[in-house]
Structure 1
């Protein structure tokens, strides 16, 4: 297995893990009081959108080869960092509200 395949598997596994966590957050949002639900659902929706974007960008990245892969990988990492930040923010909001 080459570096590209290992990278893809690692990132896909992390996306899957985050998606599972997002589902748990959505369940918690549904259980929250009505006034809290709106706020929590906004954060979950943003996270869900970014996870979907991350999945698409990972698929695009994996199609690239050679030096184009390495160049695109740097851009992908920016998207990845944004997902991590949103996940951390969303988790913090859930702890503060729920």
Structure 2
């Protein structure tokens, strides 16, 4: 396994972890009252958009050739950090 593949697997595992956290929040939303549910749904929609953005960045990595993938790392890390922060914030807000 080369460095690019190892990096991709590491980031994909992180995205899968945050996807599971978002799914947990969505399950809580189902149990929430009407007012709380509206807020949950808004937050979950935002989290899913960030999740999709992070996945898109990771998918760009697959199409990169040679050492060009290293240029994409900063964008991937930024998307990952934004998703991580947003999920943690939402989880704290709704716990």
**2:48, 2:93 → 1: CA distance?**
15
SS of aligned partner of 1:47: helix
Aligned position for 1:89: 89
For the Cα contact (< 8 Å) 1:40–1:93, is it kept in 2? no
The number of aligned residues is 95
Aligned position for 1:43: 43
Question: What is the 5 A alignment of 1:3-82?
Answer: 3-82=3-82
Any runs of at least 4 consecutive aligned residues in structure 1 with deviations exceeding 6 A, and if so which? none
For the Cα contact (< 8 Å) 1:29–1:37, is it kept in 2? yes
What are the ranges of 5 or more consecutive residues in structure 2 without an aligned counterpart?
Answer: none
What are the ranges of 5 or more consecutive residues in structure 1 without an aligned counterpart?
Answer: none
